[in-house]
């Protein structure tokens, strides 16, 4: 097994796999090391063999035709022609024990009065609460938007940087607006990792990293040593702070206090006949409840089953109570569950002014052979993560021709 590489990437979420793909397609010998037993990170489409392979999303669940870097990878892998359209279904609010329409929490007059500010109010450096409370009205924010936004990022949204929540991106007109795959979004990381041009190793625990003028030496906990000319850390900020080698103290100081939000995700599968009372929905946005949101698999209907992923606040309910709370929201008995699983997710807990910190971090990394990427730079979407990975790739290896 080879121990010397041009490029080692630590972390096999979409950020790390994207970074590895960009270097491998330019002929760089690239190794990916992943601590867990699977690739994909927050992209996770668990399937159930006992239910004919039925799957549902337990993390990221939508791709858009504005995801340019993602689409370039799909083109490389021959996956663009395999995309599946997502059925148009809407979200409902879950409030005070009832499913309600989104419009029931919208204050139209206030929105109409505030909306012109959307075109003039600056976004940079402002929190989600400050910015969206201004451009769409405080009552709209209080009754609807704060819950919708925290459903997106699975954490309290008030202090999150507004500029990291949504970013406009150009759309590719030859691809449908919103899409998935027949076996879920996990198709993408699995396909990247399966390339013969990449060496991807799971269950790899890093003990220590040393740096020199010519590259990096990565020591694993089993004592083995790996060497590379370039290194990319595609891990959460707390992990990056632990792994950054001597000589990167300024970068370590900048990432060490970036928080992480823990999410307890409960996946439940039901037979169609047991949910006849519940029309197809995209999911639920919870208002002041133990879960932030529930995302449905109804966007790609199955003939026999329906699946839901409930994203719970950490350490609020025990496992059994989570099940009963989720079933209450769906209006079904827990005895009707056909299959279930639980997943632990983590997302960055960014704060207003974060992009200024990223600018400082970029200055600390300038001129080095080490890159940092992840879903904690520009935003949590797959494209935000890949945009960061690509910009770091260009910094390390130069612009692609």
CATH number where 14 lies = 3.50.50.60
Neighbour-count burial for 232-260, b at 16+ CB within 10 Å, e otherwise: bbbbbbebbbebbbeebeebbebbeebee
Give dist(CA 346, CA 35) in Å, integer.
15
Give the pLDDT band of residue 56 (cuts 50, 70, 90).
very high
Q: Tell me, what's the pLDDT at 114?
A: 78
Q: Tell me, what's the pLDDT at 103?
A: 92
- Determine, yes or no, domain membership for 373: yes
Domain identity same for 377 and 344: no
Domain identity same for 136 and 269: yes
> Is residue 401 pLDDT above 80, yes or no?
no
Domain identity same for 327 and 374: no
Q: What is the average per-residue pLDDT within 201-212?
A: 95
- Determine, yes or no, domain membership for 179: no
Give the pLDDT band of residue 2 (cuts 50, 70, 90).
confident
Domain identity same for 385 and 341: no
Give the total number of structural domains in the chain.
Answer: 2
Domain identity same for 153 and 265: yes
Instruction: Give the chain's end-to-end CA distance (angstroms, integer).
Output: 32
Domain identity same for 240 and 161: no
CATH code of 272's domain: 3.90.660.10
Q: What is the average per-residue pLDDT within 202-213?
A: 94
Q: Tell me, what's the pLDDT at 120?
A: 76
- Determine, yes or no, domain membership for 159: yes
Q: Contact 281/307 with Cβ under 8 angstroms?
A: no
Domain identity same for 339 and 266: yes
Domain identity same for 250 and 145: no
> Is residue 142 pLDDT above 90, yes or no?
yes
Give the pLDDT band of residue 301 (cuts 50, 70, 90).
very high
Q: Tell me, what's the pLDDT at 353?
A: 82
Of all residues in the chain, what percent carry a pLDDT higher than 90?
Answer: 81
Q: Contact 221/35 with Cβ under 8 angstroms?
A: no
Give me Rg for the CA atoms of the chain: 22
Q: Tell me, what's the pLDDT at 99?
A: 94
For 211, other C-beta atoms within 10 Å of its C-beta total 17
Give dist(CA 240, CA 213) in Å, integer.
20
Q: Of 310, 331, 348, which residue sits at a domain end?
A: 348
Domain identity same for 241 and 377: yes
pLDDT digits (tens, 9 = 90+) for 3-16: 899 999 999 999 99
- Determine, yes or no, domain membership for 245: yes
- Classify residue 86 by its DSSP letter: P
- Determine, yes or no, domain membership for 69: no
> Is residue 166 pLDDT above 80, yes or no?
no
Query: What's the mean pLDDT when you consider all of the chain?
Result: 93
Q: Contact 354/164 with Cβ under 8 angstroms?
A: yes
Domain identity same for 138 and 211: no
Q: Tell me, what's the pLDDT at 53?
A: 96
- Determine, yes or no, domain membership for 320: yes
Range of the domain at 285: 88-168+260-348
- Determine, yes or no, domain membership for 72: no
Q: Of 328, 348, 368, which residue sits at a domain end?
A: 348
Domain identity same for 274 and 387: no
Q: Tell me, what's the pLDDT at 165?
A: 82
Domain identity same for 163 and 23: no
Q: Of 348, 363, 388, which residue sits at a domain end?
A: 348
Q: What is the average per-residue pLDDT within 132-147?
A: 91
pLDDT digits (tens, 9 = 90+) for 184-202: 999 999 999 999 999 999 9
Q: What is the average per-residue pLDDT within 382-391?
A: 96
- Determine, yes or no, domain membership for 24: yes
Q: What is the average per-residue pLDDT within 246-272?
A: 95
pLDDT digits (tens, 9 = 90+) for 284-298: 999 999 999 999 999
Q: What angle do CA 176, 147, 235 make, to 5 degrees?
A: 65
pLDDT digits (tens, 9 = 90+) for 81-134: 999 999 999 999 999 999 999 999 989 888 788 777 777 788 888 888 998 898
Q: What is the average per-residue pLDDT within 359-370?
A: 96
> Is residue 60 pLDDT above 90, yes or no?
no
Neighbour-count burial for 330-363, b at 16+ CB within 10 Å, e otherwise: bebeeeebbbbbebebbbbbbebebeebbeebbe
Of all residues in the chain, what percent carry a pLDDT higher than 70?
Answer: 100
> Is residue 43 pLDDT above 90, yes or no?
yes
């Amino acid at each position: 097994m080879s121990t010397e590489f041009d490029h080692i990437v630590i972390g096999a979420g979409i950020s790390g796999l994207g970074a590895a793909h960009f270097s491998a397609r330019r002929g760089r010998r690239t190794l990916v090391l992943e601590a867990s037993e699977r690739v994909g990170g927050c992209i996770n489409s668990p399937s159930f063999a006992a239910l004919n392979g039925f799957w549902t999303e337990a993390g990221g669940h939508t791709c858009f035709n504005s995801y340019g870097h993602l689409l370039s990878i799909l083109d490389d892998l021959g996956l663009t022609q395999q995309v599946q359209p997502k059925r148009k279904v809407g979200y409902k609010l879950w409030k005070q024990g009832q499913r309600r329409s989104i419009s029931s929490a919208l204050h139209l007059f206030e929105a109409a009065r505030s909306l012109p500010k959307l075109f003039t109010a600056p976004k940079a450096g402002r929190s989600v609460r400050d910015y969206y409370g201004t451009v769409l009205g405080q009552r709209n924010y209080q009754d609807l938007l704060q819950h919708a936004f925290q459903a997106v990022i699975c954490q309290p949204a008030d202090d999150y940087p507004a500029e990291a929540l949504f970013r406009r991106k150009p759309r590719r007109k030859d691809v449908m607006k919103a899409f998935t795959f027949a076996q879920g979004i996990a198709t993408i990381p699995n396909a990247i990792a399966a390339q013969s041009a990449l060496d991807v190793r799971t269950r790899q625990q890093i003990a220590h990293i040393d740096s020199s003028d010519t590259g990096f030496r990565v020591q694993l906990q089993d004592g083995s040593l790996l060497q590379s000319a370039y290194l990319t850390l595609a891990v959460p900020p707390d992990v990056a702070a632990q792994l950054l080698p001597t000589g990167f103290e300024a970068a370590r100081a900048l990432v060490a206090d970036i928080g992480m939000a823990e999410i307890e995700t409960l996946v439940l599968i039901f037979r169609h006949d047991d949910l006849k009372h519940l029309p197809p929905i995209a999911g639920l946005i919870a208002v002041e409840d133990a879960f932030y949101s529930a995302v449905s698999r109804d966007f790609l209907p199955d003939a026999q089953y329906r699946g839901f992923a409930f994203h719970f606040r950490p350490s609020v309910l025990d496992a059994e109570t989570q099940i009963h709370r989720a079933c209450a929201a769906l209006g079904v008995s827990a005895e009707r569950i056909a299959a279930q699983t639980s997943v632990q997710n983590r997302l960055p807990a960014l704060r207003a002014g974060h992009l200024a910190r990223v600018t400082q971090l970029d200055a600390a990394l300038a001129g080095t052979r080490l890159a940092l990427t992840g879903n904690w730079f520009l935003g949590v979407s797959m494209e935000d993560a890949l945009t960061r990975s690509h910009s770091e790739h260009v910094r390390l290896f130069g612009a692609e021709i």
